[in-house]
Structure 1
Amino acid sequence: MIRYALKCTEGHRFDSWFQSAAAFDKLAGAGMISCAVCGSAEVRKDLMAPSVSASESQAVTAPAPPERPERPLSAPAHPAEQVLRRMRAFVEKHSENVGRNFVQEARAIHAGEAPARPIHGQARPEEARKLAEEGVPVAPLPFDPEAKSN
């Protein structure tokens, strides 16, 4: 396992663990790493100090890392991230995840063919645009409900 300090194009910094350097490169190349604060998929490695272990007789002092408050990796780094976590928890608790059936289910609810209830799921941008043009009330979520956090 390897831990990287990451930074998005908006300047938000966060840490994440990866199985290997190759795993990071593969996920980053596929756009599967996103900023925990703003959701941007434009994420790159940030400057970080190496972790060096040595015996007592070979004490090695690594250079000080850039100024960043210490926090557990699971703790939000920014107030916006806290809001997004609360929003995600609310959506997951109070709506049904219909996954990839979102477009069909949203149309059925709008037409009165399925019981009215809050739902969330996945739709391609062009599908969501068509739903909105048809008068089906939809809105994008500022997070991916399918993504699992560590």
Structure 2
Amino acid sequence: MIIDTTEIETINSFSKLESLKEVYGIIWMLIPIVTLVLGITIGVLVIVWLEREISAGIQQRFGPEYAGPLGILQALADGTKLLLKENLIPSTGDTRLFSIGPSIAVISIFLSYSVIPFGDHLVLADLSIGVFFWIAI
């Protein structure tokens, strides 16, 4: 049996499609994760902005409306200010614990994501007590 070049090209095109299926599978697996993280991030930004505007209205003062349109960039200005502040470490306390405190907080947040199912086949930790683990963190 002799195979001509068109049949070989057809076979090669199927192998390319298989690799594309794997890439699309990875992309479709990442879409729910990215959607969830972006949704939570945007939700937090909106809640912080609303809290500032509502508290400014209650206190009868101007809110943070001068940094960008409607004060949207105020959160970015506050974050930049916090990152550029001087790092003061207390001399009488435990300096190691004081330094790793923020890391402990961030690690516990990332651990709480481990029990959230992001898809049918994408569960990082399938715990039978996942809800209790999430509440404990």
Query: TM-score if structure 1 supplies the norm length?
Result: 0.23
* Rg comparison, structure with higher value: 2
Compare the two structures and name the one with the higher strand fraction: 1
Query: TM-score if structure 2 supplies the norm length?
Result: 0.24
The one of the two structures with greater contact order (alpha-carbon pairs below 8 A, sep at least 6) is 1
